A and B are shown apart, each in its own frame.
Chain A
């Protein structure tokens, strides 16, 4: 398995421009700006099959073609480093270890789309990471890899680091734009889509940090090289994160489509205390849980969809046989209740209701009808909302009940937790 995203993470000084250059950095941006036309860059990304790494897996090259040509209006990039999907901690690794990889991806993307300025929206709590990133941006300006007339190509590129202030919803692309504009991060109705009406009403493209980091490698090695890695419909490597009851938690760069069971048992050392595996959330808190019997599955968009879940951010959360699934539901529903921005009734009321019902079950006040009520509320949250947070809150509950209904029933019948050694809440 060939590493490219994280290959240099362990080199000393990998954060610095000097080491990045020594490892072949800024070759791809030079090549793009001096030898390729903007349309050719976009075409290459399109051909590569790169899909967004922020959760939804939208084809990146296609997204870039939605941007209008010409310069009647200023165009912007919003780089999504909000990284607030519980279980996810990969973008942070990129910034801590090799921020110039992101900067280079942004330069190439800006050139391809004719961008006036990039705003990197980084979650407010990543204070140290924002400093690292700012330092890297300053270094790049100093050497004229950013700013005016980069590589004597006549192309200008500006990057600004912009800190959020604690709100999961600002990771949603239109919430992000509202937040950059200095407002509450409440998502906008779509259409209009960001490519038509984005930051300050101008054409804008939002991509995840990791998405941009694949770009220089595709330009250096070609779309065909990229397409050969991973699966037919999910190309390239990705950075999986794994946490919970696992011996070797952390991030691992692997090809898309890597087997989940192998990730858990071969790569990450197996289950803590050699306990038995009970369940896995494969792609961050919004994706549906898989019971132990279903983890022999490939980690790509299609395979996980077939398994009734999704790849999300590739953030794997492992739970051993002590884990109470009602409590898992309570922790997750508390999160979504806290983070719902409140604009849509179904989301605002639904997230709160689900959390209340689950707390009732936990505290011995559960009723037999509660399980169907949970499914009913969750079902009503799946449509008619402005953004996907509402769906993201419904899916984990639906997944838990689908695969662990018996445990919920036992919990209700006995009026208390039936997993005596479970984690506490």
Chain B
């Protein structure tokens, strides 16, 4: 169930548009921020709030890469592997993370702390290589820097 606060935020979003449906992406962002992922129940709840069919929510959730259809770890690490990052060996960064966490790309650690993914260009090409940890960008990565970041994540 979404919190009262989330519902209030969603109605604020609805007021910005001539049609309620336009609040769907904002509503999903609000829900995911609160719950970490988008469950089937959440989709149904959002569908009823903005008065569309659950299937319409489902379609949108599966189209956009940022919405998690399954639970992810507390920290979602996403390494950019697009060209500017690849040229500066983002592959080595990814390998280093796989080694340190003992998981492969696409997996979550047993303690549900970390999920590791790759991601397409995030607009940090001038500060490559980069990864995103939840919402935050970490740029000019080195293996050392990755170690420090991992240690700081409790």
Contact = CB atoms under 8 A, between A and B. Distances in A.
Q: Can you list the 10 inter-chain pairs with the closest CB atoms, starting with the nearest?
A: A166-B65, A182-B24, A165-B64, A166-B66, A243-B125, A86-B121, A243-B84, A182-B21, A184-B63, A424-B91
B59 interface: yes
B128 A243 contact: yes
A183 B25 CA distance: 8
A312 interface: no
A399 interface: no
A302 interface: no
A116 to B, nearest CB: 9
B67 interface: yes
A423 B91 CA distance: 8
A167 B65 contact: yes
Contacts of A315: 125
A250 B21 contact: no
Contacts of B23: 182
A86 B18 contact: no
Given A128-B136, A331-B83, A335-B83, 18 more contacts: A74-B18, A87-B121, A89-B123, A124-B29, A125-B123, A127-B136, A162-B26, A163-B26, A166-B66, A182-B60, A183-B21, A183-B56, A183-B60, A245-B88, A285-B121, A317-B87, A323-B87, A423-B88
A65 interface: no
A87 B19 contact: no
B18 A200 contact: yes
Interface residues of A, number: 55
Query: Among B17, B23, B126, which residue has the most Cβ atoms of chain A within 10 A?
Result: B126
Interface string A134-173: 0000000000000000000000000010111111100000
Nearest to B94: A424
Contacts of A331: 81-83, 86
B21 A128 contact: no
Nearest to B122: A125
Contact of A328 (B56, B83, B125): B83
Nearest to A163: B29
A84 interface: yes
B89 A423 contact: yes
B2 interface: no
Contacts of B92: 424
Given A165-B64, A244-B84, A425-B91, A182 B25 contact: yes
Contacts of A7: none
Interface in B10-46: 16-19, 21-26, 28-29
A92 B137 CA distance: 13
Contacts of A327: 86
For this complex, into which size category does the number of interface residues on chain B fall? 35 or more
B127 interface: yes
Given A249-B127, A335-B120, A165 B66 contact: yes
Interface string A83-104: 1111111001000000000000
A241 interface: yes
Contact of B67 (A85, A128, A165, A182): A165
Interface in A222-255: 241-245, 249-251
B142 interface: no
Nearest to A248: B126
B126 A89 contact: yes
A160 B126 contact: no
A123 interface: yes
A374 interface: no
Contact of B63 (A126, A167, A241, A332): A167
B120 A339 contact: yes
B124 interface: yes
Contacts of A339: 120
A242 B126 contact: yes
A35 interface: no
Contacts of B56: 183
Contacts of A179: 25
Contacts of B89: 423-424
Contacts of A89: 123-126
A241 B126 CA distance: 7
A331 B84 CA distance: 10
Nearest to B20: A182
B110 to A, nearest CB: 27
B62 to A, nearest CB: 9
Contact of A241 (B22, B81, B125, B135): B125
A185 interface: yes
Nearest to B123: A89
